[in-house]
Amino acid sequence: MKFWQAMKALEDGQHVRRKDWKDNGKIYKASEKIFYENDIGRGNWFPTLNDFFSEWEIYEEPRLTFSQVVKGLKDGKKFRRKSWNFEECYIHAHRDTGEIIFSEANRLGMHSPFNFCLQDLEADDWIQL
């Protein structure tokens, strides 16, 4: 899609990315601002001249099953469910005990054991952070 079509998709609430981005990057609109996010972090996004002439696509979050999440937890990765209301919430494995911990990144020291329910185990909306 062209740049103007990507900007229309942003207005419609979708996430978009340039086809030539190699860093899992995407842009999205929140609170009337446009943000860029990739594997390293996020920040405000401002278009460059290259953006106007590049091909764009709708960005689809990779969706993971819980068995894929368990493999990632063993490797020290963090995950959250797309359906969770707060983006700051995630689970990770304690590096010494292996216990799965539920954390809120915006509150220091806010960690507790993760209480699973059947919906969590059957879900396919897990996202790696």
Helix/strand/coil (H, E, C) string of 11-33?
Answer: HCCCCEEECCCCCCCEEEEECCE
Are both 38 and 89 inside the same structural domain? Answer: no
Are both 9 and 51 inside the same structural domain? Answer: yes
Element (H, E) at 126: strand 126-128
> Which residue's structure tokens are 């969590």?
120
Are both 45 and 82 inside the same structural domain? Answer: no
Express each pLDDT in 6-27 by its tens digit: 999 999 989 999 999 887 789 9
Are both 79 and 119 inside the same structural domain? Answer: yes
Are both 114 and 73 inside the same structural domain? Answer: yes
Q: In this structure, which amino acid lies at residue 77?
A: K
Are both 92 and 111 inside the same structural domain? Answer: yes
Are both 8 and 52 inside the same structural domain? Answer: yes
pLDDT exceeds cutoff 90 at 88: no
Residue that finishes a domain, picked among 58, 82, 104: 58
Average pLDDT (64-72) is: 89
Domain that holds residue 46: 3-58
Neighbouring CB atoms inside 10 A of 79's CB total 20
Residues 97 and 26: their CA atoms lie apart, in Å, by: 35
Query: What confidence score (pLDDT) does residue 45 get?
Result: 93
Are both 54 and 72 inside the same structural domain? Answer: no
Residue that finishes a domain, picked among 32, 58, 84: 58
Q: What is the pTM for the complete model shown?
A: 0.55
What total number of domains does the chain contain?
2
Are both 77 and 94 inside the same structural domain? Answer: yes
Residues 17 and 6: their CA atoms lie apart, in Å, by: 8
Model confidence at 66, in pLDDT bands (50, 70, 90)?
confident
Q: How much is the mean pLDDT over the chain?
A: 85
